[in-house]
Amino acid sequence: MKSKKSIIQSAVSTLELEAAAILNVAKNINGDFEKVVSTILQCNGRVIVTGIGKSAIIAQKIVATFNSTGTPAIFMHAADAIHGDLGMIQTNDVIICLSKSGNTPEIKVLIPLLKVAGNVLVGMVGENNSFLAQQSNLVLDTSVEKEACPHNLAPTTSTTAQLAMGDALAICLLECREFNEADFAKYHPGGSLGKKLYLKAGDLALANEKPSIKLSASVKEVLIEISKNRLGAVAVVDEENRVLGIITDGDIRRMLENNTDIAHLKAENIMGRSPKSVQYDELAVDALDMIKKNNITQLLVLKQNTYFGIIHLHDLLNEGIV
């Protein structure tokens, strides 16, 4: 059993080796890399990414990153390709093949088949003299000195280099396409990342009740309205539904602390006159920033100059915005 110190040293050594490998890969970025980016941008098809073994797993991640950042991509397992999956390749597709050695039997069988239709073949390979490198139209060099594995066998440093190269491609393509936050939201509508980019304050307010009272409302009416709607606050509005103030649970507690006789008090006597608010079409994440900045739990939502509703910190928590 390794000592605590040797376990930590092993982990640090692995990370240092992989970090060094990524820096070395950065030195290999050359004209072929630029041509790969240009070729993908100009193609009318998709990017088919293939590989076998651990490289196939990295290929799947690259595909996922491409698709989420505006570059249509499909994963094709190198072993399955020769058993029917070659049919997914269309005339205008660009193919990226991942392999550390570039000489595995499956890759040697696959490469001639990939070149039949004349698609551009990009080899992401760790051996520049390999079969894959020699047969590819363009080469992305992901060679590494050694694996992090002490036996230099388990793909570790090499797959890290492939992953980093894939990320470099995806980000270059993203920037060239001027892929922005709105585009990102279209591809991530279900997750918290997407919600931060598209969910509006008004969307949350619509799901809540819309508590409101007039200036002349009694304390009893205020309490009933706050309790009935369970948002911990009520908006004070005029006849045109314009916001005049807000009364929160905290305002009620302060009123009770400072007054022995509350029968004569009205909403206008206890309301806050400068309530924090957002427009209904502002992003929910911006509403959250305002809630945090002002150390409050409720926020009024306005549509132009009129009262639209209330959102509570819990609404944002429930949506995973926080």
216-263 per-position pLDDT tens digit: 999 999 999 998 888 999 999 999 999 999 999 998 999 988 888 888
Q: What are the mean pLDDT values of the chain's consecutive 10-residue runs (322 residues total)?
A: 85 93 93 97 95 96 94 94 90 96 93 91 96 96 92 91 97 91 66 70 92 93 90 93 94 88 89 93 90 92 94 86 68
- Whether the Cβ atoms of residue 97 and residue 122 lie closer than 8 Å to each other: yes
Residue 97: strand, helix, or coil: strand
Under 8 Å between Cβ of 69 and 61? no
Position 251, amino acid: D
Q: What is the number of other CB atoms lying within 10 angstroms of the CB of residue 99? A: 32
* Ramachandran category for residue 221: left, alpha or beta (phi over 0 → left; psi -120 to 50 → alpha): alpha
Contacts (Cβ under 8 Å, ≥6 apart) of 105: none
pLDDT at residue number 194:
64
Contact 216/238 with Cβ under 8 angstroms? no
What is the pLDDT at residue 188?
Answer: 62
Would you state the structure tokens that stand for residue 161, as one six-digit string? 């280099």
Q: What is the CA radius of gyration of the chain?
A: 30
Cβ atoms of 318 and 214 closer than 8 Å: no
Q: How far is it, in rounded angstroms, from Cα 100 to Cα 54?
A: 9
With CA atoms as reference, report the closest residue to 97 among 87, 108, 85: 108
pTM of the model: 0.69
Work out the number of other CB atoms within 10 angstroms of the CB of residue 149.
Answer: 14
Q: Are 58 and 159 in contact (CB under 8 A)?
A: yes
Residue corresponding to tokens 């936050």: 181
The predicted structure's pLDDT at residue 187: 67
What burial class does residue 190 get, using C-beta atoms within 10 Å of its C-beta: 0-12 exposed, 13-18 middle, 19+ buried?
Answer: exposed
In one-letter notation, the amino acid at residue 91 is: T
Helix (H, G, I), strand (E, B) or coil at 189: coil
Judge residue 236's burial from the number of C-beta atoms within 10 Å of its C-beta, 0-12 exposed, 13-18 middle, 19 or more buried: buried
Instruction: Output the pLDDT for position 44.
Output: 92
List strands edge to edge, sheet with 212-213.
Answer: 212-213, 233-237, 243-248
pLDDT at 4: 83
CA atoms within 13 A on the CB side of 66: 24
State both tokens at 133: 């490198």
